[in-house]
Amino acid sequence: MAPTAAPTFQTHDLAHDEPVDYIWTLNFGPQHPATHTTLRLVLKLDGERVVDAMPDIGYLHSGFEKIGEHLDYNQYVTVTDRMNYISPMANNIAWHGAVEKLLGMELPPRAKYIRTILAELARISDHLLCNGAVGLDTGAFTFFLYGFYQREVLYDIFETLCGARFTNSYTRVGGVSQDFTPLVIEKIRTFLKTFPKTLEDMERLLNRNRIFVDRTKGVGVLTKEEATNRSATGPIARASGVTRDLRKDEPYLAYADMDFKVCCMKSGDCFARYLVRMAEMRESLKIVAQALENLPSGPVNVGQDERTALPDKGLVYRSIEGAIAHFELTMTNRGFETPHEECYSAIEAPNGELGFYLAGDGTDVAYRARCRPPSYIHFAIFPHLIRGHTLSDVVAVLGSLNVIAAELDR
Amino acid sequence: MLKTTTLEAMLAAYPELAVSEFRGGTRVVAQRGKLFETLQWFLCQRGFDLLVDITCVDYLNYRDAKDRFGLVYLLASTETNERITIRVYLNEPELSVPSVVSLWEGANWMEREVFDMFGIVFDGHPDLRRILMPDEFTAYPLRKDYPLQGRGERHNFPVLRRNQA
């Protein structure tokens, strides 16, 4: 099924050429079990070969960037949850990382470590789903269930931590909403112990599985030059040999203190993207273990003087300063001040570079909150990857790009 | 993050660029007429091979703003990890800039989104259509004069029945 070399075909300029009767059109989506989310592809087929694919997106467009101009910096975190809902923690961290960069705020060390741990857990959760979905679409159902069971464990950790399983809204400007409790740390430690075994099982299921390898190897090849030229980032670029990883290249949070490797492959096909994600999960585990061992003590929020984080409830009820600080933050005509400036800040989200371009206008509501969504940029590569492959490869390539439609359309 | 050698080379090549610094990031304001040339210089001469994003800010109600739109190009280099922000200011009615799809393939959808949301035209773009909003949509929703609730477009969308499809 998988062609060994990139197949060569007569290319058709469908817009201008005379219509040819053997080319037929297939509508894929917006509701299809293998698109996983709401996106639509119009495929031009020559027999079973895809001659061209035309993505049609916007079905889930809900104006997140417009809403960002009307909600304040702490409120908007709930919207970022709903962008890439596979790893909402990473979105929270990216959003407030950008806000703190705009404010020029330095986080307390404990908050940095907690965010690092959660960003890596979010990465594991995202890669489990992405690889699980690739497995599911290519016929490996057990693999998917193994992955989903471990995601459930991660959801339990998030639930213990902040009460929400799915839409965490965990970070705040200048810190996080809840500190780690001993129970959370214990649950993460248990996860660190049990997860490698599942990971081994998962690798044993698929890494040398003939059906899976045949369906993914050599399919959807993206070369290194193309990957950079088409703005690919994250695991997709790294599977093509681009060594860029913001955790190493522009260390943010506590990544400078961590010892981990950047996982890269050279072949740039769906199988390479699968392997990079599997390898990254192991590195994430290493980071979580290190951060948990070296978790500093201290506050998880910036001090009260910064006037961005809500003070502790004890302070609010028992001291006038606490009550005033709480009042100033929660009233609609108050809030904190931001500079009249614009800045861009990005993190290495599970899917690639997730950045926010913020324009501050003095108030605590962003003047412009642009999200640089990795899914959107990766989906633009899709027609290029699928041209010349068979219809059954559509799901493998789509799965390996990990396109989340809520982030795609925002 | 930007190397001083890059900055010096840039100022030697384009002395008219206005450079500013904020939180460790270097921003450059380019002239509209020289935008393509400047971007091409960064790609070809300094190896800024990754176009991170293209976005736009509408400065309609912004304090001290002289121009209506600010178009933002975020560039990065995968070799040296430098980053630079290149901005260009646009005013009505001249809302068009040359497309950079010929330099970076990845600009294709980014430019389509800016066109869709702000109505900025990219000359030479291969396929400049709306991408997120429906084709029938006439307004540019991320402009500041467009209300959050919309202008009632959703109520007027044509209803497509099964027998017409």
What is the residue-wise DSSP string for A264-322?
--SS-SHHHHHHHHHHHHHHHHHHHHHHHHT---S-SB--GGG--SPPPHHHHHH-HHH
For chain A, give the percent of residues with pLDDT over 90. 36
The answer to whether B136 contacts chain A (CB < 8 Å) is no
Give the nearest partner residue to B50 out of A101, A231, A357, using CB atoms.
A231
At residue A32, the pLDDT reads 75
In order, the DSSP letters of A157-204 are HHHHHHS-SS----EETTEESSPPPHHHHHHHHHHHHHHHHHHHHHHH
The answer to whether B62 contacts chain A (CB < 8 Å) is yes
pLDDT above 90: residue A93: yes
User: Would you call the peptide bond into B93 cis, given omega within 30 degrees of 0 as the criterion?
Assistant: yes
- Which residues of chain B fall below pLDDT 70? 1, 165
CB A127 within 8 A of CB A151: no
Contacts of A386 (CB under 8 A, 6+ apart): A50, A53, A220, A393, A394, A397
A354 domain residue, yes or no: yes
- What is the distance, to the nearest Å, from the Cα of residue A13 to the centroid of all Cα atoms in its chain? 35
Residue B131 and residue A231: Cβ atoms within 8 Å?
no
Q: Which of B20, B105, B130, B145 to probe by mutation at the A interface, max A CB count within 10 Å?
A: B105
Q: Which residues of A touch B105 (CB under 8 A)?
A: 226, 229-231, 384
At residue A3, the pLDDT reads 46
At residue A2, the pLDDT reads 47
Model pTM?
0.89
A143 domain residue, yes or no: yes
Contacts of B87 (CB under 8 A, 6+ apart): B27, B28, B29, B30, B70, B71, B72, B73
Query: Domain span at residue A339?
Result: 64-378+393-401
A47 domain residue, yes or no: no
pLDDT above 60: residue A81: yes
Q: Is A159 exposed, middle or buried (0-12, 13-18, 19+ CB in 10 A)?
A: middle
The radius of gyration of chain A's CA atoms, rounded to the nearest angstrom, is 22
Give the nearest partner residue to B109 out of A70, A249, A380, using CB atoms.
A380
Count how many domains chain B has: 1
At residue A113, the pLDDT reads 93
Query: Domain span at residue B129?
Result: 4-164
Average pLDDT, chain A: 87
CATH number of the domain within which A70 lies: 1.10.645.10
Residue B49 and residue A229: Cβ atoms within 8 Å?
yes
A239 domain residue, yes or no: yes
B14 min Cα distance to partner chain A (Å): 23
Complex prediction ipTM: 0.89
CB A288 within 8 A of CB A120: yes
Residue A244 and residue B134: Cβ atoms within 8 Å?
no
> Which band of pLDDT confidence, cut at 50, 70 and 90, is reported for residue A1?
very low
Tokens 């929020």 appear where?
A301
Nearest CA in chain A to B75: A231
A360 min Cα distance to partner chain B (Å): 10
A4 domain residue, yes or no: no
Averaged over A52-67, what is the pLDDT?
Answer: 88
Give the nearest partner residue to B132 out of A61, A232, A370, using CB atoms.
A61
Give the nearest partner residue to A66 out of B51, B74, B141, using CB atoms.
B141
At residue A7, the pLDDT reads 47
Q: Which residues of B touch A231 (CB under 8 A)?
A: 50-52, 104-107, 110
The radius of gyration of chain B's CA atoms, rounded to the nearest angstrom, is 18
Residue A174: what residue type? G
At residue B16, the pLDDT reads 81
Q: Which residues of A touch B79 (CB under 8 A)?
A: none
A41 domain residue, yes or no: no
Look at the alpha carbons of A7, A8, A12, A13 in this order and tell me if their dihedral is positive or negative.
Answer: positive
The answer to whether B140 contacts chain A (CB < 8 Å) is no
Count how many domains chain A has: 1
Look at the alpha carbons of A228, A229, A234, A236 in this order and tell me if their dihedral is positive or negative.
Answer: negative
At residue B161, the pLDDT reads 85
At residue B151, the pLDDT reads 82
- Lowest-pLDDT choice from A4-13, A77-86, B38-47, B48-57: A4-13
A140 domain residue, yes or no: yes
A305 against A141, higher pLDDT = A141
At residue A305, the pLDDT reads 67
Give the nearest partner residue to B132 out of A101, A231, A409, using CB atoms.
A409
> Which band of pLDDT confidence, cut at 50, 70 and 90, is reported for residue A184?
very high
CATH number of the domain within which B52 lies: 3.30.460.80
CA distance A182 to A161: 10
CA distance A386 to A243: 24
A108 domain residue, yes or no: yes
Tens-digit pLDDT profile for residues A363-392: 888 899 999 999 999 999 999 999 888 988
pLDDT above 60: residue A216: yes
CB A18 within 8 A of CB A1: no
A371 min Cα distance to partner chain B (Å): 9
pLDDT above 60: residue A199: yes
At residue A192, the pLDDT reads 93
